[in-house]
């Protein structure tokens, strides 16, 4: 008789939640192909937002739950979400009852806690993963109800009681881990760059960073004589950044203006961008694990308003391994930035040390480890 395992996913808000969740989902699907006598069905409980197509193409059924954001700071929106939470919880109870999954995997973030709480009511095993050194409020509330917890940063283990926590790293999307024959020089040519000139990849997160965009544009004229820049602006910021970049070079006979290029959002070509880069400038967070996967030195500029200042703590742990230089926003000046950039690029020993440290920080097996534990929990719940 064929056994049926039902796996439920929840979590969302940003790419930092969704991409690792999808990486684990891909590994579970891949792993279950080895068991033709087991039928697996997948559901996502929550609001996938702009990422809904990613779930649809993986044949993960979306079961909408009204989103409620848990905040640790004073806001009038807390009143609205407090009113919405009982409704979200009731929705989660009814929809989980209809599906009755064998295991729930939560990445935390907007809308996840009602699903976790409802799963606990039904005594469904729960696996939680935390991508940051300082866990978000949703995951802090979820930890006591979880059967197992995986964390990306060692510091996060201090927030978990008992022995249910394990350091596993952060899942990276499978297409980034797949072997590639493309060289750095070839990747630079893909984007129309000179293979002999150092390339800076700038990424401000899945939604872009307006402050990071502004700073890089202010520094553009000083960068292009020595470097090339490939800058992801974020979809909402692309038009404005493109316009401002044109104004920067307008009425100037500038021999290097072709060295600064902007894109709205990397998707299918993100891997080529990583390969092409000599150094990466980014925000902090789970994106650090993707940088580490490619062994690239980086300059990390944490978002100072991040919840619990988690971006700073993520960057701190990464920098302590020697993989990056951290510049806090209040210290971010062209003089300091250009000096750090020059030091990393021109000093071969510094560059190689940081590249090696980044590679050693990478966790290419994180998604596999989490997938195996989720399947184990789901299998165990079948009795």
Mapping DSSP to helix (H, G, I), strand (E, B) and coil, where does residue 188 land?
A: helix
Distance of CA 263 to the CA centre of its chain: 19
> Mean pLDDT of successive 10-residue segments in the chain (383 residues)?
88 86 95 84 92 94 80 53 80 96 94 95 98 94 97 97 96 94 97 97 78 93 95 91 88 77 89 98 94 98 86 96 96 97 98 98 97 92 66
Mutual orientation of helices 210-223 and 334-346 as an angle, nearest 10°? 70
pLDDT value at residue 50: 86
What is the C-alpha to C-alpha distance for residues 81 and 71, in angstroms, rounded to an integer?
Answer: 9
pLDDT value at residue 61: 97
DSSP assignment of 64-122, as one string? E-------SS--THHHHHHHHHHHHHHHHHHHHHHH--SEEEEEEETTHHHHHHHHHHT
What is the C-alpha to C-alpha distance for residues 125 and 318, in angstroms, rounded to an integer?
Answer: 32
Torsion of CA 262, 201, 282, 106, to 10 degrees: 90
Distance of CA 140 to the CA centre of its chain: 19
Residues 345, 279: contact at Cβ < 8 Å? Answer: yes
pLDDT value at residue 78: 55
Cβ neighbours, 10 Å, residue 192: 11
What is the C-alpha to C-alpha distance for residues 86 and 91, in angstroms, rounded to an integer?
Answer: 9
pLDDT value at residue 248: 87
pLDDT value at residue 379: 85
pLDDT value at residue 122: 97
Q: Tell me the domains of the chain and their CATH numbers.
A: 3-172+364-380 (3.40.50.2000), 176-361 (3.40.50.2000)
Closest by CA to 287, choosing from 152, 158, 180, is: 152
Q: Report helix, strand and coil shares of the chain as percent, to nearest 5.
A: 50, 15, 35
Closest by CA to 323, choosing from 347, 359, 294, 374, is: 359
pLDDT value at residue 151: 98
Mapping DSSP to helix (H, G, I), strand (E, B) and coil, where does residue 268 land?
A: coil
pLDDT value at residue 190: 96
């Amino acid at each position: 008789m064929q056994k049926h395992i039902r796996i439920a996913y929840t979590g969302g808000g940003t790419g930092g939640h969704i991409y690792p969740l999808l990486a684990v989902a891909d590994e579970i699907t891949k792993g279950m192909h080895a068991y033709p006598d087991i039928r697996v069905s997948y559901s996502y409980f929550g609001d996938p937002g702009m990422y809904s197509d990613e779930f649809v193409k993986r044949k993960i059924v979306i079961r909408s739950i009204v989103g409620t954001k848990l905040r640790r700071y004073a806001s009038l929106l807390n009143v609205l979400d407090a009113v919405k939470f009982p409704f979200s919880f009731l929705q989660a109870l009814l929809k989980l009852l209809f599906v009755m999954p064998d295991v729930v995997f939560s990445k935390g973030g907007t809308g996840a806690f009602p699903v976790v709480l409802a799963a606990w009511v039904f005594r469904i095993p729960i696996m939680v993963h935390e991508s940051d050194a300082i866990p978000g409020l949703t995951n802090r509330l979820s930890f006591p109800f979880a059967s197992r917890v995986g964390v990306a940063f060692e510091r996060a283990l201090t927030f978990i009681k008992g022995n249910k926590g394990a350091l596993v790293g952060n899942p990276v999307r499978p297409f980034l881990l797949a072997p590639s024959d493309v060289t750095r020089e070839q990747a630079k040519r893909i984007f129309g760059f000179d293979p002999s000139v150092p390339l800076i990849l700038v990424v401000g997160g899945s939604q872009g960073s307006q402050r990071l965009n502004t700073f890089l544009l202010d520094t553009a004229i000083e960068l292009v004589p020595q470097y090339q820049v490939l800058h992801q602006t974020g979809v909402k910021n692309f038009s404005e950044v493109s316009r401002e970049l044109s104004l920067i070079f307008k009425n100037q006979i500038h021999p290097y203006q072709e060295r600064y290029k902007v894109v709205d959002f990397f998707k299918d070509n993100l891997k080529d961008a990583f390969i092409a880069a000599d150094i990466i400038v980014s925000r902090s967070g789970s994106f650090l694990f993707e940088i580490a996967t490619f062994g690239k030195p980086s300059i990390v500029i944490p978002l100072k308003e991040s919840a619990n200042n988690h971006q700073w703590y993520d960057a701190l742990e990464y920098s302590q391994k020697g993989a990056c230089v951290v510049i806090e926003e209040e210290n971010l000046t062209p003089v300091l930035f250009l000096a750090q950039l020059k030091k990393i690029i021109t000093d071969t020993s510094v560059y190689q040390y940081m590249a090696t440290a980044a590679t050693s920080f990478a966790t290419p097996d994180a998604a596999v480890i989490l997938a195996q534990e989720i399947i184990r929990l789901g299998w165990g719940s079948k009795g």
